[in-house]
Chains A and B, each alone.
Chain A
Amino acid sequence: MHPNLLEITDLKTHFFTEGGVVPAVDGVSLSIKRGGTLGVLGESGCGKSVTGFSILRLVRPPGRIVGGAIHYFGRETVNGEDLTALDARSEALRQVRGAEIAMIFQEPMTSLDPLFTVGNQIMEAILYHQDVSKAEARKIAVEMLDKVRMPQPADVIKQYPHQLSGGMRQRVMIAMALSCEPQLLIADEPTTALDVTTEAQILELMRELQDELGMAIMFITHDLGVIAEMAEEVAVMYLGKVVEQSDIQSLFADPQHPYTRALMQSIPKVGQKSSGRLEAIRGMVPSPRRIPSGCPFHPRCANFIADLCNVKTPQLKKTRAGHSVSCFLYDDGGSSNGA
């Protein structure tokens, strides 16, 4: 068996809008190990969600995958296949979606249909992918709700989404996503809309279910605390590109890209109150329609080197085992102190 479950190579997903081309994902390469957790960290507009949608081939016009490959090494039916080569409406891809790769989203209310009961919605995926009767599907749905620690699952399947709280809805989403025992779960900011105590419960649930079921997780978030808690490997994205990639310990112990370092310094750290100001990153994330030349971070970078960073685009380079960064500061194997 291939050691990686998913390999993304030089993926480019662009949006052809009236105002011009938006390169939302622009040459992203990532891999996800079997049963592992890859965190994708970035701010709004960095392309982290579009990467997730591209894997499932759910990017809608005017968006389109214009380059690269997504190799998926799943069960017999799809093994080593390039998902970008499949027709988005093909039967092969339908077998992948839900059964092999499932996705959960930030806002569980908008991802659930208000007109159908929770049970109905979980059963739909089970009936599509598994050869079972309605009664059996209902039984699996109750089991799944029980698995996500839903109190009184037999009653909950008769309820409508509006009757549940945000945390309970997210549990329903997870139950639905895991009902066909996928190999990969793409979780796009699954706890961002939740309160802190509920968030802690959901994160713990996801970890327990991963131990139990052995699926890999691609965890997309902007929250450094959540990523530190969930991920084994992290890809930091900025304006459609991966700027740093590392195992989680190394990333937090020795963040290398000026963007990653600045992000970590800009957040208040609980339990370490100081009366001083925060180290803010100057400027703002540029519009994806007007991506700066050269390194996309150069207008905000504290280590900007004139006539280099604004001219040439740095490539992702390995600085040590398991840690890569795309920044000219590391070109000569230089120190992390930079300019």
Chain B
Amino acid sequence: MAPDQSNVVLEVQNLKKYFPISAGLLRREVGQVRAVDGISFTIPPRKTLGLVGESGCGKTTAAHTIMRGLEPTGGQVIFHDALLGAVDLATADKETLFQVRRNMQMVFQDPQSSLNPRMTLLDIIGEPLVIYKIAKGTELIDRVAELLKRVGLRPEYMRRFPHAFSGGQRQRIGIARALALNPQFIVADEPTSALDVSIQAQTLNLLQDLQDEFSLSYLFIAHDLSVVEHISDFVAVMYVGKIVELADTHRLYHSPKHPYTEALLSSIPRPDPAIQQTRVAIRGELPNPASPPKGCTFHPRCPYAEAICAEEEPALQEVESGHVAACHFADNLNLRGVNEF
């Protein structure tokens, strides 16, 4: 196959992941949790898509389903592999998946539980190189040393175990492992939320430097809206399994089109005592994804809800070029941006 020259790295189309709810002695299926319910987006090369949403909205499930760590219930995940061309990960066979996964890697939230405590850094970072038969012996050691240096750790540490390192250093180890195979695409699931404030900046800088150096594309999942704004070119907002708004970062933060986005932006605690925030009052909490409200899932909490919102589910539609929102009144509401509260 010819090398893929398209201007997209990842295309997710109508991706779904439902989990069965079983009950009773026979564990009969009595319902479904629609953790991811038909999401679509694309990520261009060398760009970062931020995926935000509150806990339980399905953002992590979406990431695992994209990587095919979970079997999708429906939809397509087209990955434009540098060698293999376009591959639908949702239906790819084992051998194809093995080949494609060289080019897509993951960085996890908790660097404590995502590193095997019985493996040295050499084992952890070298493992992908061994599995793909890329390096062994002294060559492997050289490669690992190089990777450690690149993420700002001393190569002398490669025979040590993860427990000897701080949280921020462990996250660097996780990043070095993800880089080992020189991937095109990295999913970073809350990579800085377990880190201290002073360490968070170092890690974000490292991720940005690596993106430039290795032409990486990122799917960056986080709940911290300041971090997501800083690192992302585009941002998608998820609510109860669905994307409710997607736009380039500046437009999403400064002229949101979905009331949920406005509510999120108004909730951010601002590090400036001079700002007297006037919050958008949103009532209540996230609904249970096993029995989401009828109509627009956000309507019970939405300050702008009208009769139609409880009846009809709004489709995700283009409000402006490149800016989509799922709200019946996306064109009419004059919502406030992040600096207007």
Give A residues with C-beta under 8 Å from B: 43-44, 151, 165-168, 195-200, 203-204, 222-229, 248-249, 252, 262-264, 266-271, 273, 277-281, 284-285, 300
Could you say which of B65-73, B179-187, B268-276 contacts chain A? B268-276
| A200/B267 in contact, CB under 8 A | yes
Name 27 A/B residue pairs within 8 A (Cβ), A-sorted.
A43-B196, A165-B286, A196-B54, A196-B225, A197-B264, A198-B285, A199-B269, A200-B267, A200-B269, A222-B197, A223-B269, A224-B271, A226-B269, A228-B271, A229-B269, A252-B272, A264-B271, A266-B197, A266-B200, A267-B226, A268-B229, A270-B229, A270-B268, A271-B229, A273-B249, A277-B205, A277-B209
Closest 6 CB pairs of A and B: A225-B269, A268-B230, A280-B201, A195-B54, A200-B267, A266-B201
| B253/A271 in contact, CB under 8 A | yes
| A262/B270 in contact, CB under 8 A | no
B305 at the interface (CB under 8 A from A): no
Q: Which residue of A lies closest to B232 (CB)?
A: A273
CB < 8 Å: which of B249, B267, B339 contacts A196?
B267
13 new A-B contacts, CB < 8 A, other than A229-B269, A270-B229, are A195-B55, A195-B223, A223-B269, A225-B269, A228-B273, A229-B273, A249-B273, A263-B198, A266-B197, A270-B226, A270-B268, A278-B205, A278-B230
With a CB–CB cut-off of 8 A, which chain B residues contact A203?
269
| A269/B226 in contact, CB under 8 A | yes
B282 at the interface (CB under 8 A from A): yes
In residues 191-250 of chain B, which contact A (Cβ within 8 Å)?
196-202, 204-205, 208-209, 223, 225-227, 229-230, 249-250
Q: Is the interface of A mostly helix, strand, loop or mixed?
A: helix
CB < 8 Å: which of A166, A198, A270, A281 contacts B201?
A281
- Digitize B243-265: 1 where CB-to-A-CB distance is under 8 Å, 0 elsewhere: 00000011001100000000111
A204 to B282, CA, bound (A): 12
A203 to B169, CA, bound (A): 32
A203 to B210, CA, bound (A): 37
B168 at the interface (CB under 8 A from A): yes
A259 to B1, CA, bound (A): 55
A77 to B131, CA, bound (A): 70
Q: A196-B225, A277-B208, A278-B230 are in contact. Are A267 and B272 (CB under 8 A)?
A: no
B166 at the interface (CB under 8 A from A): yes
Q: Is the interface of B mostly helix, strand, loop or mixed?
A: helix
| A280/B202 in contact, CB under 8 A | yes
CB < 8 Å: which of B169, B274, B286 contacts A284?
B169
A223 to B263, CA, bound (A): 20
User: What distance in Å separates the Cβ of B305 from its nearest Cβ neighbour in chain A?
Assistant: 16
A199 to B339, CA, bound (A): 19
CB < 8 Å: which of B169, B196, B270, B338 contacts A229?
B270
A47 to B286, CA, bound (A): 34
A226 to B224, CA, bound (A): 13
User: What distance in Å separates the Cβ of A278 from its nearest Cβ neighbour in chain B?
Assistant: 4
User: What distance in Å separates the Cβ of A172 from its nearest Cβ neighbour in chain B?
Assistant: 14
B154 at the interface (CB under 8 A from A): no
Q: A271-B339, A284-B199, A285-B196 are in contact. Are A249 and B274 (CB under 8 A)?
A: yes
With a CB–CB cut-off of 8 A, which chain A residues contact B250?
273
B136 at the interface (CB under 8 A from A): no
CB < 8 Å: which of A198, A268, A270 contacts B204?
A268
How many residue pairs bridge A and B at CB < 8 Å?
Answer: 128
With a CB–CB cut-off of 8 A, which chain B residues contact A249?
273-274
With a CB–CB cut-off of 8 A, which chain B residues contact A151?
284
| B267/A199 in contact, CB under 8 A | yes
A75 to B274, CA, bound (A): 35
| A267/B201 in contact, CB under 8 A | yes
CB < 8 Å: which of A204, A227, A267, A271 contacts B200?
A267
| A44/B196 in contact, CB under 8 A | yes
| B54/A252 in contact, CB under 8 A | no
Q: Which residue of B lies closest to A234 (CB)?
A: B273
A269 to B229, CA, bound (A): 9
A43 to B271, CA, bound (A): 16
With a CB–CB cut-off of 8 A, which chain A residues contact B266?
200
| A197/B282 in contact, CB under 8 A | yes
B163 at the interface (CB under 8 A from A): no
With a CB–CB cut-off of 8 A, which chain B residues contact A166?
55
| B274/A252 in contact, CB under 8 A | yes
Chain B CB within 10 Å — which of A151, A199, A225 has the most? A225
Q: A197-B263, A268-B204, A271-B338 are in contact. Are A262 and B227 (CB under 8 A)?
A: no
With a CB–CB cut-off of 8 A, which chain B residues contact A252?
271-274
| A197/B205 in contact, CB under 8 A | no
B279 at the interface (CB under 8 A from A): yes
| B269/A165 in contact, CB under 8 A | no
User: What distance in Å separates the Cβ of B150 from its nearest Cβ neighbour in chain A?
Assistant: 16
With a CB–CB cut-off of 8 A, which chain A residues contact B223?
195-196
A224 to B271, CA, bound (A): 5
Q: Which residue of B lies closest to A300 (CB)?
A: B198
Chain A CB within 10 Å — which of B264, B269, B284, B286 has the most? B269
With a CB–CB cut-off of 8 A, which chain A residues contact B271?
224-225, 227-228, 252, 264, 267, 269
| A197/B267 in contact, CB under 8 A | yes
CB < 8 Å: which of B229, B282, B337 contacts A273?
B229
A203 to B250, CA, bound (A): 27
With a CB–CB cut-off of 8 A, which chain B residues contact A269?
226, 271
With a CB–CB cut-off of 8 A, which chain A residues contact B282?
197
With a CB–CB cut-off of 8 A, which chain A residues contact B168?
284
Q: Which residue of B lies closest to A200 (CB)?
A: B267
